[in-house]
Amino acid sequence: MRRTLALLLVFTTVPVWSAQPVRARHGMVVTRERHATAAGLQVLKNGGNAIDAAVAVGLALAVTHPSAGNIGGGGFMLVRLADGRTTFIDFREHAPAAASRNMYLDANGKATQDSVTGYRAVGIPGTVRGLEYANKKYGKKPWAELVHPAYELASKGFPLSYALANSLRGQRGLAGFPESKRIFLKDGKFYEVGEVLTQPELAATLGRIEKLGSKDFYEGETARLLAKDMAAHGGLITEADMKGYTVHERATLNGTYHGYTIVTAPPPSSGGVGILQMLGMLDGTGYEKAGAGSATVLHYMTEAMRRYFADRSEHLGDPDFVKVPLTSLLAPKYIEKQRASIDPERATPSSQIKATVFTGHESNETTHYSVADEEGNVVSVTYTLNGGFGSKVTATGLGFLLNNEMDDFAPKPGEANMYGLVQGEFNAIAPGKTPLSSMTPTIVLKDGKPVLVVGSPGGPTIINTVLEVIVNVLDFNMNVQEAVNWPRFHHQWLPDELRVEAGISPDTVALLEKRGYTVKRVAAQGEAAAIHWNNGWLEGAADPRTEGTAEGH
């Protein structure tokens, strides 16, 4: 069964409460784009497990969702296996060997745009090696079988949806790079809705990957051509950088909330820490008694967000380079102290919130997808090019867009990046280092069995979107589609403003302003892809803010 959800920028309470998820008994795939959803579902039907399906989806999105789907970027895969084991596969981009702390500062010490656009913005991509790692260790199907759907989509093409055609038309930055302009902007003539987009260079790259595996991407023809293109345009990535890229498999970050077990992303994700810390601050306040959408609920959740993002700015970074004080950040006494500092009636100005000092010790174009199979395997994947269409650079002769992930470092510690996030020394640039990420794939368990899997794109809004979907299901008893549809809000400490979607009631906004908040209206906040387990049914929810789809069997 399949449901395609139309783009909605304005929400009201009626469609939220009338919304129903897609239901199936055996397997479920929820992604941003229908061809990728179909590719993943077919893998499940052919006997692959959730890990196999997730690999096929990731590669297909590299073709059909070029603004964020990628083989030129990186990301995270959170896995809960049928036998109860959990693991976290980190295939995030790394800084090249030639990267340096002040590489994006001009002669006056001011940050330039080089971390956002162009060849110098690119980190070493991790997606291909990460997906292959997951398939080899936890999958069942041959690698080539999982790459082939993406190869077919690139070589034969696919008809452009309204959203993709419109997105490409609005991407003026692509015009600054000849390969990007030729492939994605049709040399300035623009693609129309329904027109077929074929990508022969990308197909050739995927064909080599299908036959030779990640070895081609990191040590073969693809690596050679990418390094050559970098050298010709002032980029930093070399063949040695590509060959040296490694995937990190890490222990998951686990916590409890209202009788549920929360399994989430460890550093270099900042999101898992945030989810556990914010849920801990909410626990025991009784905030949920006021009801979803109330000013009281938004107040308590916003104050938790504000306090977490202050800590994020100072204490989080790549755990292979800095000592992240996880135990201190998640200590019950510390969370209790943070909870007690929330005034029940008034907003706390961000100027009064500072990152705690512990002794001794991230456009919004990412994409997320969730997969569950009949055996009980669950996969939550968030991966990205960082900004929309990444660095805007398409690798010459290779057909894929390159990330601008270097901006997820702190180009100048203490100053805001492209998302307005202020980041500290822990996230300063260093060779081989992984930039801090907001990506937050999360799985919720009850009595050891999966209940909910969710994730989101959207830069720093990712963390708060995931938090909101979780509490909508666990605390407000929404079905998973209602939880995904529900109007969202976001606060990240600095700037000191509360951003709310259009569906938040004007009365609620007025009450929040009386409490001392500066409220800013936004059209839409990110997206989510979620699956809920309910009395033997898998319930899939794609996001109506996008053309996302949920399909099951």
Active site residues: 366
Interatomic CA distance for residues 325 and 420, integer angstroms? 24
Kind plus residue range of the DSSP H or E element containing 527: none
Beta strands per DSSP E along 282-419: 366-372, 378-384
Query: Could you tell me the CA-to-CA distances from 103 to 95, 121, 413 in Å, in that order?
Result: 11, 10, 12
Interatomic CA distance for residues 296 and 140, integer angstroms? 48
Q: Is 531 helix (H, G, I), strand (E, B) or coil?
A: strand
Interatomic CA distance for residues 141 and 147, integer angstroms? 11
β-partners of residue 534 are 537
Query: Could you tell me the CA-to-CA distances from 434 to 58, 247, 274, 405 in Å, in that order?
Result: 20, 11, 19, 9
Query: Could you tell me the CA-to-CA distances from 465 to 5, 461, 525 in Å, in that order?
Result: 19, 6, 8
Three-state DSSP string of 418-434: CCCCECCHHHCCCCCCC
Would you say 316 and 361 are in contact if contact means Cβ atoms under 8 Å apart? no
User: CB atoms < 10 A from the CB of 106, how many?
Assistant: 10
Three-state DSSP string of 431-456: CCCCCCECCCCEEEEECCEEEEEEEC
User: CB atoms < 10 A from the CB of 535, how many?
Assistant: 5
User: CB atoms < 10 A from the CB of 49, how many?
Assistant: 23
β-partners of residue 522 are 501
Tokens 């110098």 sit on residue: 120
* Tokens standing for residue 257: 């909330």
Q: Which of 385, 513, 399, 377 is nearest to 453 (CA)?
A: 377
Interatomic CA distance for residues 314 and 329, integer angstroms? 11
Query: Could you tell me the CA-to-CA distances from 443 to 90, 261, 433 in Å, in that order?
Result: 16, 8, 27
Query: Could you tell me the CA-to-CA distances from 278 to 39, 76, 285, 323, 324 in Å, in that order?
Result: 36, 21, 12, 21, 18
